[in-house]
Amino acid sequence: MKTATVVKNAGSHFLLSELPRWEPFPAVLRGKVRLKGGSTTNPVAVGDRVAYEISDKAVITEIFPRSNYIIRRSTNLSRQSHVIAANIDRAFIIVSMYFPEIKLPFLDRILLTCGVYGIPATIVLSKVDLYLGSDPESVAAFHAIYEGAGYEVIDTSTVTGEGINRIREACRGGVVLFSGESGVGKSSLVKAVDPALEPKIGDISTAHLQGKHTTSLYEMYPLASGGFVIDSPGIRGFGLVDLEKEEISKYFPEMLRYADSCRFVPCTHTHEPGCAVKAALERGDISAERYNSYLGMLEEDRKFR
């Protein structure tokens, strides 16, 4: 038995490499392993460490336990979920203020999922050359919301090079994920971090100012500066998986600062008297935008039950 890491997922076919050595080779999944995937659409994800055998070709025989992973559920009422990537050292969540316009509830769901599975998350604000000069107030307000909540936010531009070195250094020596909605510039950032790479780069649909899906496969790339990056398809919906409504507030860092002072435990931070979280919200210590995302997640939890 040999071991390797999944570096590309093409549905029923995969590429493996015995990291840190980069020599990808094709493999298929043994049928009985496929059945262990449960309700997920993909029992094997990029980043998974697997055992394989070689007869006439490489065959994945076992998927080793994951140290972490990012999983999402379809935003319809389906019970199916999808593992985006596994065994990640850091997730870079790429967003753009405009072109396409940022959706804070979407961002908050990804950040919460990273927190649930113990994945350090950094927010990357892309394309700042397009709007930092014309709308600095919105950029400053965005920084205030998320840095105030405890997240790192990096402004980047593939045109001016702003922030690219910070991303490159953070990628060094580990496996990182670039994820976000379609059109926010994930693949352009990958190429800016390592110009030798050739991920697909697409345009924005001017009809709806939404991104077009260009990356269609989950794929890992080696970086010349060290480390590996997983480029993922653009995501347009991010439903939460396996999270009780009582747990949701625990993954809002700014709420945790006040939750122990609530009069009632547990507290949903919605209607209870003496709620320290709602008092912090009224003082402006917790942003209304993040709190509204929290309420949306509570409502989503009720829909899926």
Read off the pLDDT of residues 79-125 as tens digits, 9 standing for 90 and up.
678 889 999 999 999 999 988 889 899 899 999 999 999 999 999 99
H/E/C letters for each residue in 218-286?
A: EEEEECCCCCEEEECCCCCCCECCCCCHHHHHHHCHHHHHHHCCCCCCCCCCCCCCCCHHHHHHHHCCC
Q: Are the beta carbons of 93 and 142 closer than 8 angstroms?
A: no
Q: pTM of whole model > 0.75? A: yes
Domains along the chain?
A: 2-63 (2.40.50.140), 69-231 (3.40.50.300), 245-303 (1.10.40.50)
Q: Which SS3 state, helix, strand or coil, does residue 80 take?
A: coil
Q: What is the pLDDT of residues 5-19, one digit of tens each?
A: 999 998 778 999 999
pLDDT at res. 147: 97
Q: What is the pLDDT of residues 144-170, one digit of tens each?
A: 999 999 999 999 999 999 999 999 999
Q: Please tell me the distance from the alpha carbon of residue 60 to that of residue 58, in angstroms, as a whole number.
A: 7
**Band of residue 201 on the pLDDT scale cut at 50, 70, 90:** very low
